[in-house]
Chains A and B, each alone.
Chain A
Amino acid sequence: MFESEYKEKFRTPEEAVKVVKSGDWVDYMYFNGYPKALDKALAKRRDELHDVHIRSGISLPPFPEVPISDPTMEHFQWDSWHFSAWDAKLFDQGICSFSPLLYHEVPGYYKNREVEVDVAMMRVCPMDKYGYFNFGINTSHCEAVMENAKICIVEENESMPYVYGGNGNQIHISEVDFVVRGENEPMANAAILQATEAEKKIANYLLEDIHDGCCIQLGIGGLPNYLGKQIASAGLRDLSMHTEMMADAYVDMWKAGCLSGARKEIDRKKMVFSFALGSPELYEFTDHNPMIATYSVDYVNNPNVIAQISNMISINGCLEADFYGQVASEMQGPRQITGTGGQWDFVLGAYHSRGGKSFLCMSSTYKDKAGNLQSKIRPFLTPGAACTVSRQMTHYIVTEYGKALMKCQSVWKRTENLIDIAHPQFRDELIKEAQKLGFWKRTNKIEP
């Protein structure tokens, strides 16, 4: 039915990228939505183009060619909303810039024209019989980008899982300008990490706060993977999923029969997410799965939506915390390594959920370049590090030594609670720092 329109709009990648002009803003989708064939074709046009800005985020292998094709940044300027390790490497080389965001607001940035898009490009599922290109595992803000771009180009890939909505998970051929076909390369995986000893201890603390009927938001990494398995073996019932990112841990919980979604107030019995990142098994699970509903991120991450779900438990990682309870989760000093992502959204939403809690987790120490142990609990954030979650909002901070409540605690109580979960080697030193700052009340004490 849409075949003639399809044929009319079909191009080779080389033909399609001819629409890009010097000075344009081009939008690549994040994650596995990055348009590989189009990117390759655009990189070839380097010498004809000047000052083309590309917005992207979380670059995954096989990595985009455009930014590395131009170390001078005269032709292409690479801006990322959220760094993967690869983006961070480009940042270190001075050829990648960062754009701060609140993830739930991103579709709004496009809808309200706070950012302009000349050409949008993204990798999608092949057209279905109704003329729709499904955004697969990268729903995020795809629809808002497409609807507000002057020119839309989709790159079909048969390896992209077809994921049911929700909303904001597809675009119709009538709204698309050009269609190209990629090489059907498989989706990039995220390695399944094993939990460290510290992460295992943290997971056990978290488990104390998870009961039947909770709704869980967790991310990627050794800690969520281990926690998912612990939940599965603890035999918890009627848990549900409302998460920005779907990860392998949810598949483990579902297989163990923990994840019925039956007690969720909204999207009952559906597994709700905005994008998925993990193993091939995870991607296979999301494909044509009627239990799943993927939504645009302005729904999933909207704190008001999150707060409608009772007993929301939000679990995220962080890098350091200071005596005030300010949390840095994205920068090591002035070095950007990830981004705010949805952490802020879920910290706020979970606190406003009836019975909800949010946990920001980290091991208590790290080893610096010289191999010395350093505390991640510090009097102040490392200079240059942006504060991801401001102290008024932080609920709990967790390390392998326990949980520290921050909400509505006075500065002296925050300091005490945090030193309680610092590595024992640093506690005396931290108490001295606290005394110097006047954060240590006469009656303060640390549990032996």
Chain B
Amino acid sequence: MGYLNEYKKKLVSADEAVKVVKSGDWIDYGPMNAQVVALDQALARRKDELEDVKVWSLLTLRPPKIVEVDPEGQSFIWHSWHLSGLDRKMAGTGRPVYYSSIKYSELPRYVREHIEPIDVAMLQVVPMDRHGWFNFGPQNSHSKAICDRAKIVIVEINSKMPRCLGGHEEAVHISQVDYIVEGENPSLVQLPESSCSEIDKKAAQFIIKEMSDDCCVQLGIGGMPNAVGKMIAESDLKNLGCHTEMLVDAYIDLYEAGILTNLKKQINPGKLVYAFAVGTQRLYNFIDDNPQCASCPVNYTNKPSIAALNDKLITINNAIEVDLYGQVCAESSGTRIISGTGGQLDFVLAGYESRGGKSIVCLPSSNIGKDGKKHSRIVPTLTSGAIVTDPRSVAQYIVTEYGIFEMKGMSVWQRAEGLINLAHPDFRDVLIKDAERQGIWRRRHKIV
């Protein structure tokens, strides 16, 4: 253990470690399950001494103490690269949560080159190995970039964090670390699998028809991608591959069914490639020390020109609404931010760029609003204030429980016709009238 002395020298209590934070600092709290716990509690205790400390996070999974003790956001200002349900809840109670728009593949570069320097980075990591490395666990993402950019790096070790083998940039070396805090080893936060409705299953059937043996699959988050995963597990498909941003439980189903071999991938054959994993304990157990899994930074997994090196890359992602021009909103409900772009735009691009690949955006044709009424998610133009996640020039396939429609090369009148055919029958007549008003409905149009 050549690093034991250095380890001892850098080991401090959480309260000692957070003393380095000054008013006005930018700090990073660690993405997802790397979000610090002992350090968070210690920093919250310093609330009255500090002002305007800006905190970066991504997909918050645990309620941060610093937000709880400072509801006005005087001392700590919470910033998120991607909103989780918890971030949404915090924002809903009036706590300031500031979202920064990202194209996820570019995030490591934002962190290394563009954002104001990170004064202090804090992350939960796996205990040090004999070579002096702290593994980042299931959230490679942009963790190495955070450490590279930070003036001070503090790691909070957690013996329950799975060791996720690379790939690359999966760990930080003790020589780059300033302080080590031994935490309370909290269990990882689990995200239950999204439930699949009958509508999700119907849509999934259209998607499955687009898949064939040897294809490489990226599943986004949500009921429909999950339904697709379940359906693949029951299919006769063979030799599928995984090259994804987010590893979810559905991939384990495929692996256990013998369908996911990764053998036919053009890059990283034999490996499940992912940038982060969030799911149940079953998933965390599967990736722990598993040499079949390769944890890679998100500028590798999500970079379209890299992901597209895999032939037959099928990307499946969720949306909130789609307008008759084919603009896709997957992250907001009007002005209200729901999540973020995440890697959707990256994989929508990559699926189309891959030889034989396809990018599929799916959504239920309608939903029941807060007013108790049914609303169409195929809309004439996006709701005012809604964010365009995938421009109409980029999106390829749209799927609802009523069918699948490919938009590339299609004129706006062809799009209007194709998309109205995917709408809930209750709304088709109204949508046709809207299309007429927008001048995108042709005399000879027909609705099936």
Contact = CB atoms under 8 A, between A and B. Distances in A.
B361 interface: no
A113 to B, nearest CB: 9
B325 A386 contact: yes
Interface stretch (B95-103, B157-165, B365-373, B421-429): B95-103
Nearest to B407: A100
B411 A99 contact: yes
A403 interface: no
Contacts, number: 123
Given A97-B411, A109-B409, A441-B77, A407 B110 contact: yes
Interface string B428-448: 000000000011101110000
B114 A408 contact: yes
B250 to A, nearest CB: 26
Contacts of A98: 411-412
Contacts of B415: 100
Contacts of B443: 73-74
B218 to A, nearest CB: 18
A325 interface: yes
Nearest to A382: B384
B391 A386 contact: yes
A100 B393 contact: yes
Contacts of B79: 410
A74 B443 CA distance: 8
A97 B417 CA distance: 13
B239 interface: no
A98 B412 CA distance: 6
Most buried by A among B99, B385, B414: B385
A387 interface: yes
A73 B439 CA distance: 13
B389 A390 contact: yes
Given A97-B413, A101-B393, A326-B387, A391 B442 contact: no
Given A100-B393, A344-B391, A408-B110, A334 B101 contact: no
Report the contact-size class of chain B (Cβ under 8 Å from the partner): 35 or more
Contact of A411 (B98, B115, B392): B98
A185 to B, nearest CB: 29
Contacts of B392: 100, 386
Interface string A380-406: 100110111111110000000000000
A304 B107 CA distance: 18
A196 to B, nearest CB: 29
B390 interface: yes
Interface string B376-389: 00000100110111
Interface string A84-108: 0000000100100111111001000
The B contact surface, by secondary structure, is: loop
Interface residues of A, number: 50
Interface string B322-335: 00011100000001
A442 to B, nearest CB: 8
B325 A408 contact: no
B370 to A, nearest CB: 19
A241 to B, nearest CB: 24
B146 interface: no
B378 to A, nearest CB: 16
Contact of B335 (A77, A390, A410, A437): A437
Contact of A387 (B106, B388, B407, B408): B388
Nearest to B73: A442
B369 to A, nearest CB: 19
Interface in B95-129: 96, 98-103, 106-107, 110, 114-115
A51 interface: yes
Contacts of A387: 327, 388, 391
Given A73-B443, A99-B410, 17 more contacts: A97-B411, A97-B412, A98-B412, A100-B325, A102-B394, A114-B409, A115-B409, A379-B385, A386-B392, A387-B388, A390-B391, A392-B101, A392-B106, A393-B103, A408-B107, A441-B77, A443-B52
Q: Which 5 A-B residue pairs are closest in the complex by CB-CB distance?
A: A408-B110, A387-B388, A109-B409, A392-B103, A99-B411
27 contacts: A73-B442, A91-B439, A97-B440, A100-B326, A101-B409, A109-B408, A114-B408, A304-B305, A326-B387, A334-B438, A340-B391, A344-B391, A344-B393, A386-B388, A386-B391, A387-B388, A387-B391, A390-B341, A390-B345, A390-B388, A390-B389, A390-B390, A408-B100, A410-B99, A411-B101, A437-B335, A438-B96
